[in-house]
Chain A
Amino acid sequence: EIVLTQSPATLSLSPGERATLSCRASQSISSYLAWYQQKPGQPPRLLFYDASNRATGTPARFSGSGSGTDFTLTISSLEPEDVAVYYCQQRSSWPPLTFGGGTKVEIK
């Protein structure tokens, strides 16, 4: 089973700051990684698929990068509406499909 480790667990930043979220896989997953955003009381929403492909409606301030075992989700300038938990998920080797533990982004 591929384990995804997300860091940090919580990120507290001021509006306008740059947010960098990390997802590390226990073995190479090529580019088969997705990022999801989940706000309280809502289902997850796909932000990026296959590491860097922007999903419909993902704002331009978000970017996804990486391949192999190390992946990054970057928010170039944090907005109040970006407060959420962000999850990575791999589809390289499954079953099982696996998710990271999540990074909670807060506004300072």
Chain B
Amino acid sequence: QVQLVESGGGLVKPGGSLRLSCAASGFTFSDSYLSWIRQAPGKGLEWVSYISDSGSTIYYADSVKGRFTISRDNAKNSLYLQINSLRAEDTAVYFCATGWPGFYGTFHYWGQGTPVTVSS
């Protein structure tokens, strides 16, 4: 079955950096689009970034543009999110998610999430 397992979250000071990872299994990773979506404590869902199956198309939310970098390694079935210049408002659980080929932007499968806390 499809599995997405995030890791790399933690406590970081404002201005710091983290690299989140998402290990995927149970589907053809190289044919799949992926996104990072986050959820601040007690708040709703916010889409963060998207990467196409080949990695040639990448999008970011305005709130993270210039600070976050999404990437993937199809040989390792892994998705990454490099997050720099962290701010308190980046505190959230970060989910990786994917969907059926052709249904771009719909998320049929989600990981359990990895928490990121930005605090001094």
- A contact set with B: CB distance below 8 Å: 32, 34, 36, 38, 42-46, 49-50, 55, 87, 89, 91, 94-102
User: With A43-B95, A43-B112, A45-B110 in contact, do A94 and B44 touch (Cβ < 8 Å)?
Assistant: no
Interfacial residues, chain B to chain A (CB-CB below 8 A): 35, 44-47, 50, 59-62, 95, 103-108, 110-113
Establish whether residues B45 and A95, one from each chain, have CB atoms under 8 Å apart when the complex forms.
no
Q: Given contacts A43-B95, A43-B112, A97-B35, is CB(A91)–CB(B106) below 8 Å?
A: yes
The listed residue (A87, A89, A96, A100) touching B61 by CB distance below 8 A is A96
Contacts of A97 in B (CB 8 A): 35, 47, 50, 105
The complex places the Cα of A46 from the Cα of B47 at a distance, in Å, of: 15
B59 cross-chain contacts in A, Cβ below 8 A: 94-96
Assuming A95-B60, A96-B61, is B45 touching A87 (CB within 8 A)?
A: yes
Which residues of chain A are near B95, meaning CB under 8 Å?
43-44
Q: Are A43 and B113 within 8 A (Cβ)?
A: yes
B47-A96 in contact (CB<8A): yes
B contact residues around A89 at 8 Å (CB): 45, 106-107
Please give, as numbers and ranges, the residues of chain B lying within 8 Å of A34 by CB-CB distance: 106-107
Partner of A49, one of B45, B46, B106: B106
Give 4 closest A-B pairs by Cβ, nearest first: A91-B105, A43-B110, A95-B59, A97-B47
A44 with B46: CB separation less than 8 A: no
Given contacts A43-B113, A49-B103, A96-B61, contact A55 B108 (CB under 8 A): yes
Q: Which residues of A contact B46 (CB under 8 A)?
A: 99
B110–A44 contact, CB under 8 A? Answer: yes
Q: What are 30 A-B pairs with beta-carbon distances under 8 A?
A: A36-B45, A42-B112, A43-B110, A43-B112, A44-B45, A44-B95, A44-B107, A44-B110, A45-B110, A46-B106, A46-B108, A49-B103, A49-B106, A49-B108, A89-B45, A91-B103, A91-B106, A94-B59, A95-B47, A95-B50, A95-B60, A96-B59, A96-B61, A96-B62, A97-B47, A98-B47, A99-B44, A99-B47, A101-B44, A102-B44
